[in-house]
Every structure is written in C-alpha cells, then in structure tokens.
Structure 1
Amino acid sequence: MESFKKDISEHHELRVVSALKEDKDYFLSNTPSDAYQDQLDFIWEKKQKPKAIITFAISKRGEAVSLPQSPFGGLWIHDGLSSASLEAFILAIVEEMNHRSVHTISITQSPKPYEPQVDLINYLLFKSGFEHKKVLSHHVFIGKKKIKKLVQKESMKIQKKSKSSGLKTSHSSISNFGFLKEIRSWNAQKGYEVAIDENRIVQQVSEYPDRYFLITLSKDGQAIGYSLCVKLTSDSLYYFLSAINPKIPVKIGGELILNELFQLAVEQKVSFIDLGSSDLEEGANHSLMFFKSRFSNDICNKITWDKKL
C-alpha cells in the first residue's frame, strides 16, 4: 500500500504508510495479524520529521486495533510535542479512521517505562472521547545500574540456594520450540489457560532471533521450568511466558528463574525489566503481585482505550 500525506496545519501533517515499510524499535509493530487486512503506521510529521507514531491493524469489519496479539500498541512520541499538537494528532487519527469507514478504535497504550509521556497521552485520549475499557498493572524494575547492583548483591545468596536445592538455571537463544508445549501443559495442569499462538511466536523468533531468550530451570539435568523473555524494545526485557512442572514441586523455582532474568538483563544492558501483569478474571492476582513486588521497584498501569465512531 502506498503512503500518503494529509496536511493538518501549516506545521504538521499526517502520513499513513504500510507498517511493514517502517523500521521501529518496538518490532511487534511490524508483525502482521492474520485477522486484519491492513497494518498501517499513522505518523505525525513536522517538516518531514516524525514527531509521533502509532500503528493500527484494521479489519474488514471496520475495527482498528493498536495492537492485536501484542502486549500493547499505542502512541510513541519521537520528539517533544506540546499537548495541543499531540491532541491534534489524536483528532487527525480519528478523522482519518472515519474516512476509512472504521467504526471502532481500540488502543492499548504502553506502560510508562516504554513511553515517558504516557500520562499526557492517556489524558488526551480521555479528553478526545476515548473510554477506558481495561486496566492492567505491571510490575517493573527500573534502572540499569540498580539492576546490576541487585544482581551483585544477591549472587552469593542465590548460588547457595541453588546448590542446596539441586536446581540450576541458564539462559540461551532459542533453537527449538518444544518448551512451548510444556509451558502450555504445565499451566493446564494447574488450571491455567495460556492463550498463546505458537505459530506466531515461532515466526517472530525466526525473524528477530536476537530479541528472544529462553530461561531454563533444571534438576538433575532435566528441565523442569521455563520462561520466555523478549526485548520488546532495545532498552527493555519483558517477562513473557513462564511455567514450572507441577509434578516436581520446588519452593524457590520462581525466585531462581527471576534471578536468571536479572542476570540476562545485565548482559543485555537494558534500562528496565517488565514483569508483566498479574490478573485474574475475577480480580487482581494478589499472590502473584506480592511475589513480583519482591523483584520490582515500581508499578505502572497499561490502559486499553476504545472509541466508537
């Protein structure tokens, strides 16, 4: 699909282009979804320089989502924007969606560590008629130096725990995908349903092998736990999928896996770790939130916004 530009004012213009043509640090913005016919970047420009961007997948039924089958989508600000300019961008998006016969817009805005201007973005989405549909709380650990300091502080303690329990952890790039079936099986045995598209994960790992890592927990040389981690951006590490074999109960398995995650974060020199959300259909997963709080130094919200046109 060819790109086009639309003048909004003498200062800014909206450019819309196929998402697959734009190279972005958040690589999931370039990953198409089978249920959507178009995946488009809406770019806010001034003097031909991008100031902000958002990617939408648009279905034949007139649904625009940022982004389906992804942890989040939302607006990314490349350069300092005034509140008025950012609001004009949002309104230009809505106007363009109307012209494209889109009847619903859904935006899952990234948490604050990914986009520092998220509070302003959420405020202006609300003022532009968007309604919040869902809120998830993410535990994060922020600070490159703080991550390294914590790993150094806990290393001796973790080594003793690992030795006394007979457990080992390691991390590596991904060479095969058998662990996905085990994660699904182990979680099913615990009564958890993991909605993962294995084919999509295989495709993403194949296209971006340097962004994905597998943490393995083993006992007596046998893998009894896994965690799939991904660098959603070059400066972050996201704790994506995890499971431990329920038939081999271990008390400190989760702690050892997260310690390995922090060691990986030091190696990758990222600025923050995203431990993801802790949610149940009936409410907050307080036990999981308590566990993650031991490995985080901040909490931030991820909000999904909807607007009917």
Structure 2
Amino acid sequence: MESYKKEISESHQLRVISALKEDKDYFLSNFPCDSYQDQLDFIWEKTQKNKARITFAISLKGEAVSLPQAPFGGLWINDSLSSASLEAFILAVIDELNHRGIHSVSITQSPKPYEPHVDLICYLLFKSGFEQKKILSHHFFIGKKKIKKLAQKESLKIQKKSRDSGLKTSHSSISNFGFLKEIRAWNAQKGYEIVIDENRIVQQVSEYPDRYFLITVSKGGIAVGYSLGVKLTGNSLYYFLSAINPKIPVKNGGELILNELFQLAVEQKVDFIDLGSSDLEEGANHSLMFFKSRFSNDICNKITWVKKL
C-alpha cells in the first residue's frame, strides 16, 4: 500500500501506511491478523517527526480494531504533545476511518506502565465519543532496581523450597513447541478453557525469537509446569500462558514460576513486569488477584473503547 498523507494544519499531518513497513518496539503491531485485510499505521507527524501513532487491523466488514489477537493496541505518544494536538490526532483518525468506509472502531488501550499518557488518552477518547466497553485490571511490578532487590530476596527462599520438593526451575529461548499442547491439556484437566492460536504463537516466536522465553518447572527431569515470558516492549516482561500438571503434586508451583520470571526480568534489565489480568466471566478472580498482589507493587487498568461511525 502506498503511503498516504493528509495535511491537518500548518504544523501537523496524518500519515497512513502499511503497519508492516515500519518496525515498532511493540512488535505485535507489526504482526498481521489473518481475518483482517489490512493492518495500517496512523501516524501523527510534525515537521516529519513522529509524534504519536496507532495501529488498526481493518476487516472486510468495515471494522477497525486496535488490536485483535493481542493483549492491547491503542495510542502511543512518542514525543511531547499538547492535549489539543492529541485530540486533533484522534479526530483526524476518526475522520480518515470514516472516509475509508469504516463503521465501527475498537481500541484496547495499553495500561499506564506501557504508555504514561494513558489517562489523558482515555479522557480524550471519551470526549471524542468513544464508550467504555471492557475493563481489565493488570498487576505490575515496576522499577528495575526494585525487581532486582525482590529477585535477590526471594531467590534463597525459593531455592530452599525447590530443594525440599525436588523441583527445579529454569528459563530458556524456545526451540520446540510441545509445551503448548501440554499447557492446553493441563488446563483442560482443570476445567479451564484457554483460547490460544497455537499457529500464531509459533509464527510470532519464529519471527521474534528474542522476545519469547520459556519458563519450566521440572521434577526428576520431567516438566511439570510452564509459563511464557514475553518482551512485548523492550523495557517490559509479560507473564503469559502459565500451567502446572494437575496430576503431579507441585507445592508452591506458582511461586516458583514467578520467581523465575523475576530472575529473567533481572537478566533482561526490564523496567517493569506485567503479570496480566485476573478475570472470570462472572466477575473478578479475587484468589488470583491476591496471589499476584504478593509479586506486584501497582495495579493499572486496561480499557477497551468503542465508537460507531
């Protein structure tokens, strides 16, 4: 697709290009969705400098989603931007989507640790006619030095628990994908249905091998638990797809996995860890929230906004 530019004022312009043309720190913005015909970057520029952007997947049905099959999408502010200019960007995006025949827009905005201006973004989305459709609460542990301090503090305790139970934890890059089937089977045995696109995960790991890490809990050389650590951005680590074999008694398995996640975070020198949401269809998953609260120092919301055009 050819680059598209639209002058908004003397100082700003909207540029629309294929999302696959420019690499971005949030690598899932570059990863296409099979059920969508296009994936486009809407870039807000001033004197040829990228001030803000948002990526949308565009469906044949006239839907624009930021982003499907990803933890979030949303607006990213790359440089200082006034509230008036940010609002102008949102309105310019809406106008361009409307011009392209889009009839519905959905934006899942990233939580605050990823995008510090999220409160202003959400306020201006609301003022621009977007309605809140969904909200999820994410637990975070923020602070590079604090992560290292906690990892060192907990390491000795966890090592003792591991020795007492005959368990071993490790992390590594991903060389095969048999663990995905085990995760699915173990969760099914517990009555949990995990909806994951295994082929998509394989493709993402193959294209971005430096962003994915497999955490393994083993007993007697046999894996009894897994989780993925994903660097969604260069300064973060996301806790994803955790499961423990229900047929093998594993005491403190969740603690062992999270301790290894923190060790990985120290190794990767990230600024924060995202432990994800804790949600059930019928309400908040308070037991999981309590567990994560022991390994977090902040809670931030992830909001999905929708607007009909």
- Report the TM-score when normalising by structure 2: 0.99
2:167 matches 1:170: no
- Structure 1 spans left out of the alignment, 5+ residues: none
- For 1:167 and 1:250, how far apart are their aligned partners in 2? 8
Residue 121 in structure 1 maps to residue 121 in structure 2: yes
Deviation of 1:271 after TM superposition, in Å, equals 0.3
| Greater than 3 Å deviation, 4+ residue runs | none
Q: Which residue is equivalent to 2:188?
A: 188
Shift of 1:156: 1.3
Q: RMSD of the alignment, in Å?
A: 0.5
Alpha-carbon deviation of 1:97? 0.5
| SS of 1:254 mapped into structure 2 | helix
User: Could you tell me how far 1:240 is from its partner in structure 2?
Assistant: 1.0
| Alignment of 1:264 onto 2:264 | yes
SS in 2 for 1:21: coil
**Partners of 1:30 and 1:152 in 2: how far apart?**
36
Tell me the residue number matched to 1:13: 13
For residue 152 of structure 1, report the CA deviation from its aligned partner.
1.2
CA deviations on 1:164-205 (whole Å, 9 max, x unpaired) are 111110000000000000000100111111110000000000
Alignment of 1:1-309 (within 5 A): 1-309=1-309
Post-superposition shift, 1:228? 1.1
Q: Which amino acid aligns with 2:74?
A: G
Q: How many residues align?
A: 309
Q: Secondary structure at the match of 1:79?
A: coil
CA deviations on 1:105-162 (whole Å, 9 max, x unpaired) are 0000000000000000000000000000000000000000000011111121111111
Cα deviation code 1:56-115 (max 9, x no counterpart): 000010000000000000000000110000000000000001100000000000000000
Distance 1:193 1:88 in 2: 42
Q: Per the alignment, in what secondary structure is the counterpart of residue 274 of structure 1?
A: strand
Give the drift of 1:229: 1.3
Q: Which amino acid aligns with 2:134?
A: K
Aligned partners of 1:251 and 1:292: how far apart in 2?
A: 17
**Partners in 2 of 1:187 and 1:211 — Cα distance?**
24
Equivalent AA in structure 1 for residue 3 of structure 2: S
- CA distance in 1: counterparts of 2:175 and 2:201, whole angstroms: 13
1:67 is matched by which residue type in structure 2?
Answer: L
State how far apart, in whole Å, the 1-side matches of 2:297 and 2:307 are. Answer: 33
CA–CA separation in structure 2 for the residues paired with 1:292 and 1:148: 18
Partners of 1:140 and 1:90 lie apart in 2 by 28
CA–CA separation in structure 1 for the residues paired with 2:152 and 2:22: 39
TM-score, normalised to structure 1, is: 0.99
Structure 2, unmatched stretches of 5+, are none
Deviations 1:213-253 (A, max 9, x none): 00000111110000011100000000011100011122200
Percent identical pairs in the alignment equals: 85
Q: Which amino acid aligns with 1:208?
A: Y
